[in-house]
Amino acid sequence: MCLAIPVRIVSIDGNEAETEIAGVSRRVSIAFTPEAKVGDYVLLHTGYAIGVIDEAEAEETLKLLEEIASLSEVH
Amino acid sequence: MKYIDEYQDNKLAKGLAYKIAQRSTKTIRLMEFCGGHTHAILRYGIRQLVPRTVEMRSGPGCPVCVTATADLDKAIALAHLPDVIITTFGDMIRVPGSYSSLQQSKAEGADIRIVYSTIDAVEIAKTNPRKSVIFIGIGFETTAPTIAASILKAQQEKIENFFILSLNKVTPPVMRALLDSGEVKLDGIVCPGHVSVIIGSHPYEFIPRDYGVACVISGFEPLDILLCIDKLVEQIEKGEPKVEIAYPRGVKPEGNRKARQLMDDVFEIGQANWRGIGIVPQSGLNIKGKYERFDADKAFSVSPKPPREPKGCRCGDVIRGAATPLECKLFKKVCTPERPVGPCMVSSEGACAAYYQYGIPENSQSF
């Protein structure tokens, strides 16, 4: 029910956007994420974008995970 | 797929598991609130990756599972009214009610249609103007804004044959109810990721403050969950419970204001009936008076017979985290995904369905 998957916005038409994931397109409502831009990834839940993925935070998390992994290799 | 694959990396997962094992000295119990987390934890073998000191329990975060039998019976009764089309998310249709199910009603001729989105339900209303189209509104804060949006769309487009049976629920009050009951002692909560996309992190602040229980919001990939467990273990080891976000690419402390505005415009807070828990004050979303013409509860009158719980089914205990599916005598013997007795075996977020699908490995830490 609370499943949401990241999809990339390809084009925007008012309150709706054409999105793409793994080669599949889908029209979604961006009524809750008016700040979303073409190229952004949004979390898609039952036809609605519920949030825009923060790319900088995503990279930050991955960097942190890599640091943790490299530290644990030392031991 | 971007933002999915990179959070499933095996080497990084082992690094995190090592760090958690290094940190963890106290024996603790965590609850993953969300059924989506339960499925990911079992699917990716996270219980085998975390040390024996960390016990994981499933919580009530499965909207289909927590829908009370009486409410499901009402939906089934609505389906049998003349000139009604019931629209619903897929999982609901197979959940047994007291005397029947939506699936059985469909077989008996009721017009019941599975939709992916409330947008589809509104479209069905538009193309069937002589029928009353009722959407069974289940879901937490993740889904409630989409239901609010469907009411606003129906109003703007003057669609007069669209109705919502609002069974929507909000999550922090039920966490309070579980903690108040004291039935299952918890040290930390893996807080729901996509509920928090909408509500942010502030609504959980009473949990560390009033109950001393750690709270970390998690995403749904295995590395997200391990990172969340690491932060929970760190807080608990230090004795400094607080609310943290381990899913910052999706969740902001303030949540999604626009979605909440729509929710607040359409819904008001009321009590809700949760399976296995009962009436929880302030945990339900009722349609406000100004939108009452879309409220199926006001527009239709049905009187289903008194509800009956399925005999021997321990869904209620599983929902509260008081029992695991393995403690239910019906699990896998009588109750299977093909012939489910209770909703926890039906729903794609149900704990029983997860235990059935992924099994419990022999070296599981929790048993």
Question: Residue B79 burial by CB count (10 A; 0-12/13-18/19+): exposed, middle or buried?
Answer: buried
Q: Do A1 and B149 lie within an 8 Å CB cutoff?
A: no
Average pLDDT of the residues in A11-20: 97
Token readout for A39 is: 């190229």
CA quadruple B98, B103, B107, B112: dihedral sign: positive
Residue B221 shares a structural domain with residue B329: no
Q: Are B85 and B131 in contact (CB under 8 A)?
A: yes
Query: What CA–CA distance (Å, rounded) separates B71 from B48?
Result: 38
Query: What CA–CA distance (Å, rounded) separates B361 from B150?
Result: 43
**Cβ atoms within 10 A of the Cβ of B268, count?**
11
In the block, residue with structure tokens 């590395």: B223
Q: Are B145 and B259 in contact (CB under 8 A)?
A: yes
Residue B348 shares a structural domain with residue B210: no
The answer to whether residue B363 sits within a structural domain is: no
First vs last Cα of chain A: how many Å apart? 41
Segments forming the whole domain that contains residue B343: 315-358
Q: Are A4 and A43 in contact (CB under 8 A)?
A: yes
The answer to whether residue B348 sits within a structural domain is: yes
Residue B94 shares a structural domain with residue B225: yes
**Res B212: pLDDT:** 98
Q: How far is CA B284 from the centre of its chain?
A: 13
Residue B232 shares a structural domain with residue B351: no
Query: What CA–CA distance (Å, rounded) separates B160 from B255?
Result: 32
Q: Do A69 and B140 lie within an 8 Å CB cutoff?
A: no
Q: Are B49 and B229 in contact (CB under 8 A)?
A: no
Chain A with chain B: Cβ pairs closer than 8 A: 140
For residue B28, give the 3-state DSSP assignment.
strand
Q: Are B215 and B188 in contact (CB under 8 A)?
A: yes
pTM score, two decimals?
0.96
In the block, residue with structure tokens 């108040």: B180
Q: How high is the ipTM of this complex?
A: 0.96
A-side interface with B, Cβ within 8 Å?
A: 1-6, 8, 21-22, 29, 31-34, 41, 43, 45-48, 50-51, 53-55, 57-58, 60-62, 64-66, 68-73, 75
Residue B1 is nearest to which of A21, A34, A71, comparing CB atoms? A21
The answer to whether residue B273 sits within a structural domain is: yes
CATH number at residue B89: 3.40.50.11740
| Topology annotation, domain A5-74 | SH3 type barrels. (2.30.30)
Residue B343 shares a structural domain with residue B228: no
The answer to whether residue B364 sits within a structural domain is: no
pLDDT-based confidence at residue A74 (cuts at 50, 70, 90): low
Which of B101, B105, B96, B102 has the alpha carbon at shortest distance from B312? B96
The answer to whether residue B43 sits within a structural domain is: yes
**Res A75: pLDDT:** 55
The answer to whether residue B135 sits within a structural domain is: yes
Judge whether residue A65 has pLDDT over 80: yes
Judge whether residue A24 has pLDDT over 60: yes
Residue B37 shares a structural domain with residue B89: yes
Domain count for chain B, please give it: 2
Q: Do A32 and B262 lie within an 8 Å CB cutoff?
A: yes
In the block, residue with structure tokens 């094992």: B21
Residue B303 shares a structural domain with residue B327: no
Residue B202 shares a structural domain with residue B326: no
**Res B243: pLDDT:** 98
The answer to whether residue B367 sits within a structural domain is: no
Residue B61 shares a structural domain with residue B7: yes
Which of B195, B197, B231 has the alpha carbon at shortest distance from B214? B231
Query: What CA–CA distance (Å, rounded) separates B318 from B316?
Result: 5
**Res B118: pLDDT:** 97
Token readout for B285 is: 């979303």
Residue A48 is nearest to which of B11, B146, B192, comparing CB atoms? B146
Q: Are B352 and B342 in contact (CB under 8 A)?
A: yes
For residue B267, give the 3-state DSSP assignment.
strand
Per-residue tens of pLDDT for chain B, all 367 residues: 899 999 999 999 999 999 999 999 999 999 999 999 999 999 999 999 999 999 999 999 999 999 999 999 999 999 999 999 999 999 999 999 999 999 999 999 999 999 999 999 999 999 999 999 999 999 999 999 999 999 999 999 999 999 999 999 999 999 999 999 999 999 999 999 999 999 999 999 999 999 999 999 999 999 999 999 999 999 999 999 999 999 999 999 999 999 999 999 999 999 999 999 999 999 999 999 999 999 999 999 999 999 999 899 999 999 999 999 999 999 999 999 999 999 999 998 999 999 999 987 544 444 3
Q: Do B117 and A47 lie within an 8 Å CB cutoff?
A: yes
The answer to whether residue B325 sits within a structural domain is: yes
Residue B111 shares a structural domain with residue B228: yes
Residue B249 is nearest to which of A21, A53, A70, comparing CB atoms? A53
